[in-house]
Structure 1
Amino acid sequence: MQPAHLPKVRIVRLKQRSGLILARLAGAKVAKGNVIIFLDSHSEANVNWLPPLLDPIAEDKRTVVCPFIDVIDFETFEYTAQDEGARGAFDWKFSYKRLPVLPEDEKNMPKPFKSPVMAGGLFAISAEWFWELGGYDPGLQIWGGEQYELSFKIWQCGGKMVDAPCSRVGHVFRKFNPFPNPGIGDYKRKNFKRVAVVWMDEYAEFLYRLRPKYRNIDPGNLSEQKAIRERLKCKSFRWFMEEVAFDLPEKYPPIEPPDFAAGEWLSLTYYKDIRLKEWNLCMDVESGNDGEPVLLDTCHCLGGNQLWKYDV
């Protein structure tokens, strides 16, 4: 479908709800440009956002570039810029996390800097490189895990990924999922299992320790994905952890140290946050002002407004 008032725009409509991953693959298959840019629908590109994404790819087609993701408030649409930047990462439950920018990269700001893992929604990639990597794994369903699969594949198979501070795209972070489960069960667990089996080698065991049910999940046919890894002579996940995400285990240990202090409902953890047991909720204050109320918010393991000290 081609809108009359936008002659260069093509709209691809799928016959059924297929989820984010397969929808992106469908769009990529009909794209004609040398570079494919993926953006979430609930995002807004800022001024001059495109050239900083294209420049690194022009120098090296195996470089994947992510913009800085600014925040658009879910209720007011107020736009808040991200200032300091961070590198993408993950914990061993496969929750997306962030690592500090390396000191040498801070000195070179605003030049693009390497990042182990993308947030997932917004990035630019050479079309040739995307398809050489096999695109997204078509066995991944709806959404979840695709950012890890593509990030690991990019790094382990000879590419690199950078964040470009001069490219700004605002993103609406929704407070709830507006779409119900399409009736295919817990697809995210299966997605995570596929990624772990194909790309993580012996490190998948750390995921299974924290998510024991993953061991018994059938990931489906992985022959095509394993063939891609063999064809491209991709490096091991150990290489990825030692050369790319070398500081991740210090921040997000594969085996978490014991809590510093524990009560019936709350624990002071290794990350120096106070969290509700069995839930990923931490005591949080919105600012450092005296008298601020203490709230419960999602644990981010970055200290700051969730940093607590326990004196004995």
Structure 2
Amino acid sequence: MCGGTLEIIPCSHVGHVFRSRSPYKWRTGVNVLKRNSIRLAEVWLDDYKKYYYQRIGDDLGDYGDVSSRKELRKRLSCKPFDWYIKNVYPELFVPGEAVASGEVRNLGGESPSKMCLDSAARKGDYHKPIGLYPCHNQGGNQMCLDSAARKGDYHKPIGLYPCHNQGGNQYWLLSKEGEIRRDEACLDFAGRDVVLYPCHGSKGNQHWIYDEDLRQIKHGISGKCLQMSSDREKVLMSECSQSESNQKWKFANYDPSKVAKDSDV
């Protein structure tokens, strides 16, 4: 962005020496990594920073003064982050192009169960079944799709956990291609559990169709629908039924105008 170059040399190695302890002192309760990542976003991401904040939650806290860093960027005549996306990393999925973003909330039960899809979705922890957990932002029995998957361990079922409205494990994107994704991981169903798997862009097991009127999430290949189990602890795939309340889901920030015209999404 500022005119530098990066050379990839075959068989080269890069070393990083870590200190045994940090030489700096921070106030109790300060998340140093989050604070620094927010400072980076404020200086370099331009309008794209809003997507990062949606992902980590909008409570940014005190990240300090970044005016001198912005002035340095201006003085170096650095290109905008949009240039970086289009020229350096064009294959990156941009959240702004998504049909929906945020929680995937279950609406079943005698009163709305408020369970949401939840997943930590860290690379290396894919292949774990997606879960349902109470939606944290409204407490009680609010449940959202959630996954506590870590890097290198995909294939675990997605779960349901309390919706917390803070992004993180419960922040999902519905792409124009029908992927329900988090970063580079997509919901995948191959006949058993619904798990996280690296997005491949070929639809197949990762193609989902959301019916906004029926509130159903249908799997493209199997024709089955995503459903919360009767004990509200698991995510199942079942034959679609309009009378089954546990198959009712709501995507946050859903925009049907973004659905691709040549897609079944």
Higher helix share: 1
TM-score bracket for this pair, using the shorter chain length: 0.3 to 0.5
Instruction: Give the TM-score normalised by structure 2.
Output: 0.38
Instruction: Give the TM-score normalised by structure 1.
Output: 0.33
